[in-house]
Amino acid sequence: MSSVFWSVVVVVLLASYITWTAGRLDRMHARVDAAWAALDAQLVRRAAAARALLPLLPTGPEARALEAATSAALKAGEAGREVVENDLSRALRAAMPLLQSAPGSAQARAELETAATRVGLARSFHNSAVHDTRGLRGRRLPRALRLAGHRSLPAYFDVDDTALSSPT
């Protein structure tokens, strides 16, 4: 009788732990999804702020590259987003020196700098959520029981967001 009781206790505790872990993993995936949505919004805001700089730039290859990069960034989906955002960062880095002498560029530059700062923060939150989720999914029990279901493993978002970090 005693062994049956302890067996039931062990099974109940194990089932409770598995249920708790599955719920935690589900919440972590929801956190990654929310962090991606916030990051996507900030990336769009940065691209829009960069587009607002176009009338202030002198016509030339830097302006054409920035226009192409902002258009691509505003149209980009989740797949291949890092490449598009890195292209935008490179175009911004090339265009920023041309804006120093442009009249009326201070407000547009300030908005772009704010957007770039927010991108960095949103990227940090997203990558933190991805790190935590991947850590839990890498443990033995969630892998063995496939507690993540058919969800794909979340990916880090690494982009060069240092285009505005140099003194101007």
pLDDT for residue 46: 93
pLDDT for residue 164: 66
pLDDT band at 4 (very low <50, low <70, confident <90, very high): very high
Nearest to 118 by CA among 70, 54, 164, 52: 164
pLDDT for residue 45: 95
Specify the pTM.
Answer: 0.85
Question: Is residue 47 pLDDT above 80, yes or no?
Answer: yes
pLDDT for residue 163: 61
Question: Is residue 41 pLDDT above 80, yes or no?
Answer: yes
Inter-residue contact 50 to 112 (CB < 8 Å): yes
One-letter-per-residue 3-state SS of the chain? CHHHHHHHHHHHHHHHHHHHHHHHHHHHHHHHHHHHHHHHHHHHHHHHHHHHCHHHCCCCHHHHHHHHHHHHHHHCCCCCHHHHHHHHHHHHHHHHHHHCCCCCHHHHHHHHHHHHHHHHHHHHHHHHHHHHHHHHHCCHHHHHHCCCCCCCCCCCCCCCCCCCCCCC
Task: For 101-150, write each residue's pLDDT tens digit.
Answer: 667 778 888 898 999 999 999 999 999 999 999 999 999 989 888 888 88
The Cα–Cα gap between 156 and 52 comes to: 29
% of residues, the chain, pLDDT over 90:
60
Task: For 78-88, write each residue's pLDDT tens digit.
Answer: 888 999 999 99
pLDDT band at 11 (very low <50, low <70, confident <90, very high): very high
Nearest to 93 by CA among 20, 149, 162: 162
Nearest to 96 by CA among 47, 62, 51, 49: 62
* Mean per-residue pLDDT over the chain, rounded: 89
Q: How many alpha carbons fall within 13 Å on the CB side of residue 68?
A: 10
What the chain holds in terms of domains, given with CATH numbers, is 21-145 (1.20.1440)
